[in-house]
Amino acid sequence: MSFATLSDVLQPALKNGYAVAGLVTLGWEDMRAFVAAAEAEECPVILQAGPGCREHTPLPVLGKMFRHLADEASVPVVAHLDHGYTFEDCKIALDSGFSSLMFDGSRKPLQQNIDETAAIVDMAHNAGISCEGEIGFVGYDDGEASAGTDPAEAAQFARETGVDAMAISVGNVHLQQDQSGGLDEERIAAIQAVTGVPLVIHGGSGVPADQRGRLARTTHICKYNIGTELRMAFGSALRDAVNSDPDRFDRVQILKDTHDPVMQAARNVLRALKG
């Protein structure tokens, strides 16, 4: 299956009432398990390289890893830069073979966010790839507080940037370890009433699974970013693998034991969002 852009997978989702998962990767073991999960569920998947991943592995290496997995996969695979904070971040990702960029100017004043996002959208579109932007700030659990998305600002942002997808702040937070939160459905309705751009929920791990699926089917939310719950699944599997045999020391053998549990956790995420 061809290496896909974000628009390649989100436009059908918008039209047909489902969402695609943006799965946050940290290394080869989890990204391979995520693609295996997508193949098992027969659905597209978005592999995401966020700031933590990029600190560990350079973007040119990640681009080659993502593209190799995409070229071998039987389903569409998007190579997505998550939370690019500068034009340079996005340019390096583009040059490294990524098929989708996410520029995060959400901490900046509205007009600056619009202007900088629009420049990256132009760069992406000129290269034949996609771009996601963020309007309103999605905060962090036990960290920075969120600033909810204003519908009028969202309409202006979408219109003036030309983004292919728009991340919004509607009660979601990054790094939440349980599903005790929930999304503000009135705010979502107000935003989608003024723009037809596919909507993205960052911090999807903290959104109750039933709400994720229902809103995927009934709103313009076409992408959920899922990281924390899959990192938790990986950590649990790795702990079990290490503790199961104190004499084992070969990390390749140990890491192999994480594949099936992480793949199953990813399958559960993907299945809930399918149409």
Indicate which residue of 82, 89, 150, 164 is catalytic: 82
Q: Are 236 and 256 in contact (CB under 8 A)?
A: no
Q: Contacts by 123-129 with C-beta closer than 8 Å and gap 24+? A: 123/87, 123/90, 123/91, 123/94, 124/90, 124/94, 124/100, 125/162, 127/94, 128/5, 129/5, 129/6, 129/94, 129/98, 129/99, 129/100, 129/101
Q: Are 149 and 182 in contact (CB under 8 A)?
A: no
Q: Are 204 and 172 in contact (CB under 8 A)?
A: yes
Q: How far apart are CA 47 and CA 35, in angstroms?
A: 8
Q: How far apart are CA 63 and CA 259, in angstroms?
A: 21
**Beta bridge partners of residue 4, listed in sequence order:** 78
Q: Are 262 and 203 in contact (CB under 8 A)?
A: no
Residue 82 a catalytic site member: yes
Q: Are 46 and 23 in contact (CB under 8 A)?
A: yes
The residues that are catalytic are 82
